[in-house]
Amino acid sequence: MAYKTLCVIGLGYIGLPTASTFATHSLNVIGVDTNPEIVEGLNNGHVHLFEPGLRTLVQAALQSGNLIVRRQPQPADAFIIAVPTPFKENKRADLSFVISAAESIVPHLREGNLVILESTSPPRTTVDILAPILEKSGLKAGFDFQLAYSPERVLPGQILRELIENARVIGGVTPASAQAGKELYSTFVTGEIIMTDATTAEMVKLMENTYRDINIAAANEFARLADQFQVDIWEAIALANRHPRVKILNPGPGVGGHCISVDPWFLVEAAPQNAQLILNAREVNDSQPAYLVDFIQRKTGSLRGKRVAALGLAYKADVDDLRESPAITAVELLRDAGAQVTTCEPFKAEFKIDGAKSAPTLEEAVKDADILLLLVGHTQFKQLDPLEVRKITPAKTVIDAVNNWPRETWLAAGFDYFHLGDGKH
């Protein structure tokens, strides 16, 4: 079937680039979001997300007339659900957004339509939750309409390129549904498109992020061991990675973002008895911000009353995504330990944490600091000249949680320098 109209529900980090890319490839796209501020902003040309190239893409899609933005779905040949799937306080998946999106499609579902779920979900969500909701239309999934799961596999900061070039997995409730999904994404995907069943595709997405989470947990445990054994973990990792079959990742203040820090919990929820390693890795990474704060206290003494400039709040470098960020957790723990924390997040300068100050500029953040704490390796922080920093702060101590600042350079500028995982110095 040649798809001419597409309705994309959820205009976040995945939905908006996806809708805009389809629109610039000649499909008529209805972008749907329930947030009135997002809808109004987009209709006025304002893009609410930071991603390189996204503003230009969205504005081109809107100006072409191929993308319109609404608060409710409209009839279309195909529907893509790209809404958030966060977890609840008990670490169980919150599928309320997926359920609401599916219910909003039902009145518009027609024979021959295609529905694709992109939201990361626990195994069997497509067949056990999504299909029964959509079948309230009186149509049968896989027969009267096609239903598939196709996870996004993109990296923030490179979304627009990877959306097109990365391999894509299409899992259908029937082979015909997988084929229909392949036909839709072939509109713009240049990478390989692989077809499978829906539950396998759900599992693949969770496995990819869980694999990385486990490997980061190993790196974080290595960093803790290095502190204990008086080893510089960064030197040890560089040497270990010279082995042809070893690739140890970098330790840091924890794991954040809406994928790696969330997806493994879906497997723990679905099969706790068979996910012990996954659970242990999650616990290591979730406890890493607390380990960092303890590390700072061991190096600097009591934090009560100390003024800390916390540089970076995003979950990774050079993005504005603060979801599940370990840097935010670290700031909250510093605050609870009695520190007076001033944060500086260049990509979301207006973001505030209860009990902490927010500075619009680096100069404002460090002007009264006792400790400089690098939490996120944003390019503008990595490129700082310690001699210039020395001129604008009374701070004597530098804590580098991501190993982005050269130790000898900061020592030469007169700072006491410590980085996480360095037990040697």
pLDDT surpasses 80 at 89: no
What does the pLDDT average to over 207-215? 96
pLDDT recorded at residue 275:
95
| pLDDT above 70 as % of the chain | 100
CA distance 147 to 37: 30
Question: Predicted confidence band at 382 (pLDDT cuts at 50, 70, 90)?
Answer: very high
Tell me the CA end-to-end span of the chain in Å, nearest whole number: 65
Beta strands in 187-265 (DSSP E): 193-197
Provide the H-helix boundaries in 44-89.
Answer: 54-64
Q: For the segment 128-171, what is each residue's pLDDT rounded down to a tens digit?
A: 999 999 999 999 999 999 999 999 888 888 899 999 999 999 99
pLDDT surpasses 80 at 25: yes
CA distance 31 to 153: 20
What does the pLDDT average to over 192-219? 96
CA distance 164 to 151: 13
In 3-state terms, what secondary structure has residue 209?
A: helix
Question: Predicted confidence band at 92 (pLDDT cuts at 50, 70, 90)?
Answer: confident
Provide the H-helix boundaries in 87-130.
Answer: 96-105, 125
Strand order in the sheet with 193-197: 67-70, 28-32, 5-9, 78-81, 114-117, 146-149, 168-172, 193-197
Q: What is the mean pLDDT of the chain?
A: 95
What does the pLDDT average to over 302-306? 96
CA distance 314 to 328: 8
pLDDT recorded at residue 156:
80
pLDDT recorded at residue 425:
81
Q: For the segment 242-269, what is each residue's pLDDT rounded down to a tens digit?
A: 999 999 999 999 999 878 888 999 999 9
pLDDT recorded at residue 393:
97
pLDDT surpasses 70 at 42: yes
Question: Predicted confidence band at 197 (pLDDT cuts at 50, 70, 90)?
Answer: very high
| pLDDT above 90 as % of the chain | 89
Tokens of 16: 């908006």
Q: For the segment 314-355, what is each residue's pLDDT rounded down to a tens digit?
A: 999 998 889 899 999 999 999 999 999 999 999 998 899 999
Rg of the chain, C-alpha, whole Å:
23
Q: For the segment 64-80, what is each residue's pLDDT rounded down to a tens digit?
A: 999 999 999 999 999 99
pLDDT surpasses 70 at 1: no
Asked whether 380 and 363 are in contact (CB, 8 A), the reply is: no
Residues classed as catalytic: 205, 259
pLDDT recorded at residue 141:
98
CA distance 237 to 281: 19
Whole-prediction pTM: 0.89
What does the pLDDT average to over 164-191? 97
Domains along the sequence of the chain with CATH: 5-195 (3.40.50.720), 288-419 (3.40.50.720)
What does the pLDDT average to over 298-326? 94
